[in-house]
Structure 1
Amino acid sequence: MSDRTRAPVPPALTRWEQRTEVPLFAASLLFLLGYAVRVLAPHDAQPWHDISLILVGATWLIFAVDYAVRVRLSGLGHRFVRVRWLDTVVLLLPLLRPLRMVKVYSAVQQRHDEPKLGLYARVMTYAGLTSILLGFSASLAVYRVERDAPGASIRTFGDAVWWACATLTTVGYGDATPVTPTGRVVAAGLMACGLALLGAVTGSFSSWLIQVFRREDEKGPPASG
C-alpha cells in the first residue's frame, strides 16, 4: 500500500495549510521582490542590496519554518520529502512557488460559498497568473547567470524577458538562448511548465467553445409562427 493511500491528510495539517497558504503566497511575492532588486539593482546601489538580502533571507526562513510545521503535523517523518515532494521543491527553489497557485485559490475558496469564476475561467486564470510569475522568475534567474557569461546572447533583462516569453509559448525563436549549465536547466524547466500551462489553457478554451456551441445547438432554430 502506498503512502498516498495509507492514511488521509491529518485535520491539523489541513487547517494549517488553509490558514497559511495565502500569507505564504504574499511572502513568496516579497521573496521575488527582494530577489529582483538583488539581481537588477546596480552593484553599488546601497542600501538596496542589503535590504534585498534581508528580505530574501527573512522570507526563506518563513518558508523553512512552515515546512518544519508541515512535516510535524503530517506525521510522515522523513517520508514527507517523498510524499509531499512539491513542498520540498519550493522550499529549495522558492522561485517555483507560483506552481502552488491552485492551492492558494483553494485556500481562498474555503472562505466563500461558491466560486466567483467558472471552471474554464479558473483554469485559464491559474495558468495565466502562473505563467506571468514563473516567466518573471525565470527571467531573473537566467539574466543573473547569463549576463556576464562568455558568448552569451542574453545580456540585458529585456533579453531575458523576451527569451522567457518565447520559451513559455513554445515558440523558441532561437535568437536568445542560455549558454551556461544553470541557464539551460532553468530553460528546460520553463519549457516543461510552458507545455503544461499552454495545454491547460488551450484545452480549457476548446472545451468552453464546445460547451457554448452545444448549448446553441440544443436551443435549435426559432419556431416559425
Structure 2
Amino acid sequence: MDADSRLSRWETRSEVPLFAASLVFLGSYAVQVLARGLPGVWHDLTLAVILATWALFVADYAIRWRLSGDPPRPSYVRHHLLDTVVVLLPLLRPLRVVRLYDAIQRRRDEPRLSLYGRVIAYAGTSAVLLGFAGALAVYQQERDAPGATIRTFGDSVWWTASTLTTVGYGDITPVTAVGRTIATGMMIGGLALLGAVTGAFSSWLIQVFTRDDERPPAR
C-alpha cells in the first residue's frame, strides 16, 4: 500500500473523531474563560481536557507527516501550512471543516449538496465556530485590561459579529496587543469567508439566469 492511500485511509477514519475532539476542546476552553468562579477541581479537569485534546491534535499531525512519505524536513510544513497553524493555534480548527466534509464524502458516491451549497455551508459553519472561538479569546485578553471597552462576553460577541461581517462600527475595539492581533486574523478570515459566500452566490445567480436566457421562447 502506497503512502497516499495510507494517508487517505487515516484521514477518512480520523477526521470525524478529531472534529468531535475539537468541539470538546472549544467547549472546555469556553468553560475556562466564562466560568471564572469555577471550583479548583473543575478548573483542573477542564485544563486537563484542553491539554489532552491538544496532544491528540499534535499526534494526528505527526501521524499524517509519517504517512505522507515526506522526510522530516521543512517541506512538509510548507505544503501543509493550514495543518501546521491549526496545531500551533488549536482554536483555528474550525477552518478544517472542509476536510471533515471531504472525509465524509469519500464514503458516499455523490455529494448531498451542490458546489454552491457546499461553499456556503462550509463558510457559514466556519464563520460561526471561528467567531465563537475568537470572541472567547478576545474576551479573555480584554476583560481586565485598563481602558478596555470589551467588558462582558456579550460585548465580545457583538464585536466579533461586526468584525467578521466587515461592518466595523468602532464602538467596541480591542486595546491589548494580543487582542488586536486576534482582531487582525479575524478581519482576514471574515473577508475570506464573506468573499467565498458572495462569490458562490453570484456564480449561482449567473448560472440560473444563463439557463433562463437559453430557454426557447414560449409559443
Q: Name the TM-score class by shorter chain.
A: over 0.9
Corresponding residue for residue 5 of structure 1: none
Deviations 1:95-129 (A, max 9, x none): 00111111110000001111010110110000000
Q: Residue 41 of structure 1 contacts residue 48 of structure 1 at CA under 8 Å; is this kept in 2?
A: no
**Cα distance between partner residues in 1 of 2:113 and 2:3:** 27
Q: Which amino acid aligns with 2:59?
A: V
2:64 is aligned, of 70, 86, 92, to: 70
**Cα distance between partner residues in 2 of 1:75 and 1:152:** 49
1:117 is aligned, of 107, 113, 116, to: 113
Q: Residue 37 of structure 1 contacts residue 48 of structure 1 at CA under 8 Å; is this kept in 2?
A: no
CA 205–9 in structure 1, closer or farther in 2 if over 3 Å, else same: farther
> Are residues 1:149 and 2:160 paired?
no
Q: Which amino acid aligns with 1:72?
A: R
Q: Which amino acid aligns with 1:78?
A: R
Q: Which amino acid aligns with 1:71?
A: W
- Aligned-partner SS, 1:116: coil
Corresponding residue for residue 41 of structure 1: 35
**Cα distance between partner residues in 2 of 1:81 and 1:206:** 34
Corresponding residue for residue 209 of structure 2: 213
Corresponding residue for residue 24 of structure 2: 30
| Equivalenced residues, count | 216
Q: Which amino acid aligns with 1:89?
A: V
Corresponding residue for residue 4 of structure 1: none
1:13 is aligned, of 7, 14, 20, to: 7
Q: Which amino acid aligns with 1:140?
A: L
**Cα distance between partner residues in 2 of 1:181 and 1:162:** 20
CA 212–146 in structure 1, closer or farther in 2 if over 3 Å, else same: same
Residue 46 of structure 1, CA deviation: 4.5
TM-score normalised per structure 2:
0.94
**Cα distance between partner residues in 2 of 1:197 and 1:16:** 28
Corresponding residue for residue 99 of structure 1: 95
**Cα distance between partner residues in 2 of 1:42 and 1:89:** 28
Q: Which runs of 5+ in 1 are unaligned?
A: 1-7
TM-score normalised per structure 1:
0.92
Corresponding residue for residue 83 of structure 2: 87
Deviations 1:62-113 (A, max 9, x none): 1111111112112321222222121111011000011111111000000111
Q: Residue 152 of structure 1 contacts residue 178 of structure 1 at CA under 8 Å; is this kept in 2?
A: yes
Corresponding residue for residue 191 of structure 1: 187
Deviations 1:146-181 (A, max 9, x none): 000000110100010001100000000001111111
> Are residues 1:53 and 2:47 paired?
yes
Q: Which amino acid aligns with 2:68?
A: S
Q: Which amino acid aligns with 1:83?
A: H
Over the matched positions of the two proteins, sequence identity in percent amounts to 62
Residue 9 of structure 1, CA deviation: 6.3
Q: Residue 3 of structure 2 contacts residue 67 of structure 2 at CA under 8 Å; is this kept in 1?
A: no
Residue 184 of structure 1, CA deviation: 0.6
More displaced stretch, 31-40 vs 55-64: 55-64
When the two chains are superposed, the root-mean-square deviation of aligned CA atoms in Å is: 1.4
